[in-house]
Amino acid sequence: MNRFFSFSFALLLLISCTACVGRAAAPVGEDPPVTEPQGVAAAQPAEPETSDEPEAVEPEPEEPYVRVIDPAKPMVALTFDDGPHETWSDAILDVLEENHALATFFEVGRNVRAYPEPVRRMAELGCEVASHSNAHKDLSKLKKKALLKDLDTADAAFTDAGVEAPTLVRPPYGAVNKTVKSATGRSMITWTVDTEDWKSRDTQTIVDYVKSIDNLDGEIVLMHSIYESTAEAVKILVPWLQEQGYQLVTVTELLAYYYGELPQPDSFYGYTYFSTHGRTDTPVPLPGEDVPGEGVHAEETPEDAAGEAEAALSEGSEAASEDPAENEDGEWKPVRVTETSVGLSPVGVPSAPMALYP
């Protein structure tokens, strides 16, 4: 009896101790009670940081950039021909956008068919989208019917890309005849400073040339958006020109604010025009603008334009490729024959004649 009692007691003790161990073991095995305080403790120092963070990184509300051109101050129009290019057009647009600068792009209709995106971006940024014909032919050698057909075909490429058909046209090679100058319903315009970027294909040469010109006020600078060397030169030249006090304007802005007239249909703005006109005393406002230089409010949002452009893209995506001027790698390259250089250069480079192109 005594032994039984002892045994029972021992058994009882054993059971309760096991339970005891079991109970004690349970919290050790269960993570939450043990690790939770550690977790909280660990999280606590971080907590103030995370709660501060939203205030610290909250971006300052950015003032919307308002572009105002002072017609009385120096201005220059950068122009880019022969695009759009699938890479370099956007590279140039990046620089313009960063610097709140505008330029004019004389685009080849068939290239617009192939790469409509950069053209839409140009329009959204406020750059001037102009025509450089459909197939980069010498327009002075076309019969009137073929000439108008070429220009109309280019216009369709622009409207299919979601931008307005340009009224401003730069004839390829600067080649014009009487019909091209005055019977297309468009405004034909050349340039006044030729960087010959197509010839050097060298960034430093392009930059040095532009920097060497004493006075660029009122000039229309010719470049091409299809070369990396030009895109690189633009990275240097855009901020440099602005540092020199030049406002970077579109061709139509330059005509209105500097020369005092809006581009007229059936009119030619070439060497004779630029060599006989200078800065006006009476800048004119752009259509829709009350005061010259104050800008026109866009009627549609970029979203609207992008949406419309998207709808048109299905038709626009077929790039024509039968043109003999297309080179082996399928990339459109302008075929340059002769180009009348109007070179109204303030540094006295002979304004004349013909640069022979490869």
Q: Measure the CA–CA gap between 299 and 259, rounded to whole angstroms.
A: 26
Q: Measure the CA–CA gap between 210 and 196, rounded to whole angstroms.
A: 11
Does the active-site annotation cover 132? Answer: no
Asked whether position 263 contacts Ni ion by CB under 5 A, the answer is no
User: CA torsion sign, 43 to 48 to 51 to 54?
Assistant: negative
End-to-end alpha carbon distance in the chain: 123
Query: Which of 323, 340, 339 lies closest to 111 in space, CA to CA?
Result: 323
Instruction: Name the active-site residue from 85, 132, 136, 224.
Output: 224
Q: Measure the CA–CA gap between 219 and 190, rounded to whole angstroms.
A: 11
Which whole-number Å values give the CA distances from 128 to 119, 162, 207, 330, in the listed order?
10, 14, 23, 27
Instruction: Round the CA-based radius of gyration of the chain to a whole number and report it.
Output: 34
Closer Cβ to Ni ion, 218 or 334, answer by number: 334
Q: Measure the CA–CA gap between 104 and 221, rounded to whole angstroms.
A: 10
Minimal distance, residue 298 CB to Ni ion, in Å: 29
Closer Cβ to Ni ion, 84 or 172, answer by number: 172
Instruction: Identify the residue among 71, 78, 79, 81 touching Ni ion (CB under 5 A).
Output: 81
Per-residue contact string for residues 27-66; x = within reach of Ni ion by CB under 5 A: ----------------------------------------
Minimal distance, residue 232 CB to Ni ion, in Å: 20
Q: Measure the CA–CA gap between 75 and 70, rounded to whole angstroms.
A: 9
Closer Cβ to Ni ion, 75 or 139, answer by number: 139
Instruction: Identify the residue among 84, 172, 174, 343 touching Ni ion (CB under 5 A).
Output: 172
Closer Cβ to Ni ion, 71 or 334, answer by number: 334
State how far Cα 302 lies from the chain centre. Answer: 13
Minimal distance, residue 319 CB to Ni ion, in Å: 18
Per-residue contact string for residues 211-230; x = within reach of Ni ion by CB under 5 A: --------------------
Q: Measure the CA–CA gap between 233 and 231, rounded to whole angstroms.
A: 5
Asked whether position 174 contacts Ni ion by CB under 5 A, the answer is no
Is residue 105 within 8 A of residue 99, CB to CB? The reply is no
Minimal distance, residue 111 CB to Ni ion, in Å: 10
Asked whether position 334 contacts Ni ion by CB under 5 A, the answer is yes
Does the active-site annotation cover 81? Answer: yes
Instruction: Name the active-site residue from 31, 52, 81, 90.
Output: 81
How many residues lie near Ni ion (CB under 5 A)? 4
Query: Which of 248, 258, 246, 247 lies closest to 286 in space, CA to CA?
Result: 258
Minimal distance, residue 186 CB to Ni ion, in Å: 16
Closer Cβ to Ni ion, 124 or 197, answer by number: 197
Instruction: Identify the residue among 82, 150, 160, 253 touching Ni ion (CB under 5 A).
Output: 82
Q: Using the structure block, give the residue that is written with the tokens 């490429």.
A: 157
Active-site residue set: 81, 224
Which residues would be at the binding site for Ni ion (CB under 5 A)?
81-82, 172, 334
